[in-house]
Each structure stands twice: as C-alpha cells, then as structure tokens.
Amino acid sequence: MQSEVVAVAYRGDFAESRHYGSIAVVDGEGRLLYSRGDPERFTFLRSAAKPFQALPLIETGAYTAFGFTLDELAVMCASHSGEDMHVERVLSVLGKIGLSEEHLQCGVHPPFHKPTARRLLTAGAKIGPARNACSGKHAAMLAICRYQGWDTAGYLELAHPVQQLMLKTVSELTGYPAEAIKTGRDTCGVPVFAVPLKNMALGYARLAGAGEFSKERRQAIALIQEAMACHPELIAGTGRFTTALLKAAGGDLVAKDGAEASFGVGSISRGIGIAVKIEDGSDRPLAPVVVRALEELGVIDDRALAELAPFKVHEIKTWGGVNAGRLEAVTLFK
C-alpha cells in the first residue's frame, strides 16, 4: 500500500500543494479499525516514544526512590520548548539524582519558544543542554542508570543497559518483536525505534489503558496519564499543538508528537490508539490532520474542537499578514 493525500494547501481557492501520509487506528488488541494510506509503513516513533520510555523509570522503582513528582514526570515525557518552567524541572530531576546539567549528552540548540530564545540572546546568556527539547528524557535515562548502578557516561549507545530497557519497553507496548524493530540515532543522540504504523497506534491504545497488563505496569501507565493530564504545558509548551490538545481533551487523551511529522494519540474512554505519519516529514499539515482524524472518529467533542480551531486550519499569509490561502485536511475515513 502507498500513502494517500491527507491535506491540501490552497492559494486562494486553487489547490497548490498536497501532503501525503498514512494513519492507523487500532483497539487494545491491535485490530485495525480505520486506516488511510499504509498502516504497515515502518515509522520511527522519534519523540512520540517518550511516554513509553518513561515507564521503566516508574517500574524500576527509580521514580519513588528519588522522590520525583508528577510535573517532573511530565517533563521527562516531553519535547519541551526550552522555557524556564521546563528547565527548572529538568534541573530538579538532575539535582535529585546527584548529577548536573553537564551530564546531559543531548546537545544544545536554541529554545523552541521564540520569546525565551530572544531573551537569552539579548542577555548574552549561555544556552545549556537543559534547554534541549529532549533534556527531560535524557534526565530520566540518567535517573534509571543511577538507580540501577549503571554507567552514566555511555548511556547514548544502543548496547547500554538503559537503551536495551528502552527497546524492550517499546517492543512490549507496540506488540512488535524487539529483534525486528529498526533502530537509528535521534538528533539528541539516543537510539530511536521504528515499527509499523499500526503497532505505533497499538502502543498508544495501551498507553491509554487498553489491553492486559501486570498491576505494576497498569499503575505506571496511570501515573503517566495523570502527569500528561495535570501538566500539559510541560509536555510541549506555550502555543504548541500537543499542549493545546491535551488541555482540550480534559484528561481523556494521551498524545505526543515526534520529529519528521509523526504523532500518537490514545483515547482512554474509547480504548483506541491513533498513529499519524506525514510522508514528507513536514509539520505543517500535522495538526490539521490529527484534529480532523479525532473529529471524524468522534474522539473529541464540540467544546474541545472549538478550543482546537486555531490548529484545524493552517492559514497561509503574506509577509504583510494578509490571508493568501489555507491548508486543511481532507476527509480521512470515508
């Protein structure tokens, strides 16, 4: 199967560009309920795997042993914008495990939050790795290493015990054999994992609580659900779609974006998982497609849809701010 058109960009009323993609919707047993494009497409979860990767922090006992809090757990699931509220939590996590910002090996980039980036630039402030969007995940991995007594220097490598634990957990959540998962290296340096899109959707159905689990895993999943519901601003950041979606859902959804335009959503009340991949890797159509999919599936109500209206249609404007067109999702499930 091949990807299909999922969004169209109009200039005036003329269709100027088209984005192709694939969507898979499954229940807690992995049964494909709806799809568009290729539900078998191998897809790197990228940062959409972060909530899965936080499970071992809880299941090993590290979360309780170090006295972590829900807001700190949220930032460990995040691709955050590098705002002060994010950095404060990352540094708090590191402080609790006896490490510092210098132990983060995620690299450095300017904050995604432009006002923060401008403020730091104007002040001539040094930007450290705690501002990296993935610093929370790295801090979680370091916490597991400290608790388990594993070496912290080599935690980026696939052969390291913490990354083997990440691989095992992603395999269990997505229902895909660990030896068949394709691996690569993320921009932040750690291994990334690729599974068929429908298995990514299964991971999100299970993160939403669908399926059979041990008592320990069910408790860990519930804790991550609570962290996402209570602190959506820490999962992404000011003005970001993932934060807006979690807020609008009122605790019913778990959701996370990934680089190269992947997105996972799990509905707790419906017991389903949804995975989206935009073929060209562009984020531009991602929010409109996700909102349209949730609307067609009846996963979000009219109130939530109204809150997400700014993300449903992407306005195309001139440099002078005049509307020149729009980008919107097509009908996805006929």
Tens digit of pLDDT per residue, the chain (334 long)?
899 999 999 999 999 999 999 999 999 999 999 999 999 999 999 999 999 999 999 999 999 999 999 999 999 999 999 999 999 999 999 999 999 999 999 999 999 999 999 999 999 999 999 999 999 999 999 999 999 999 999 999 999 999 999 999 999 999 999 999 999 999 999 999 999 999 999 999 999 999 989 999 999 999 999 999 999 999 999 999 999 999 999 999 999 999 999 999 999 999 999 999 999 999 999 999 999 999 999 999 999 999 999 999 999 999 999 999 999 999 999 7
**Over the range 171-181, which residues count as b (16 or more CB within 10 Å of their CB) and which as e?**
bbbbbbeeeeb
Q: DSSP per residue over 59-70, as a string?
A: HTSHHHHTT--H
Kindly report the CATH class assigned to 4-329: alpha beta
- Spatial contact of 143 and 155, defined as CB atoms under 8 Å apart: no
Partner residues linked to 278 by β-bridges: 21
Q: Cα separation of 264 and 256, whole Å? A: 6
Residues whose CB falls within 8 Å of the CB of residue 81, separated by 6 or more in sequence, listed in order: 111, 112, 113, 116, 133, 236, 237, 238, 240
Q: Cα separation of 46 and 106, whole Å? A: 14
Partner residues linked to 23 by β-bridges: 36, 276
DSSP 8-state assignment for residue 235: H
Domain spans of the chain? 4-329
CA distances in angstroms from 218 to 60, 70, 180, listed in the order given: 14, 16, 25
pLDDT of residue 1: 82
Q: List strands edge to edge, sheet with 42-44.
A: 42-44, 191-196, 182-185
Please give the radius of gyration of the chain, using alpha carbons only, rounded to the nearest integer. 19
Q: Cα separation of 314 and 296, whole Å? A: 18
Nearest CA among 157, 156, 203, 165 for reference residue 44: 203
- Spatial contact of 111 and 125, defined as CB atoms under 8 Å apart: no
Q: Cα separation of 281 and 246, whole Å? A: 23
pLDDT of residue 121: 95
Residues whose CB falls within 8 Å of the CB of residue 320, separated by 6 or more in sequence, listed in order: none
pLDDT of residue 334: 76
pLDDT of residue 136: 98
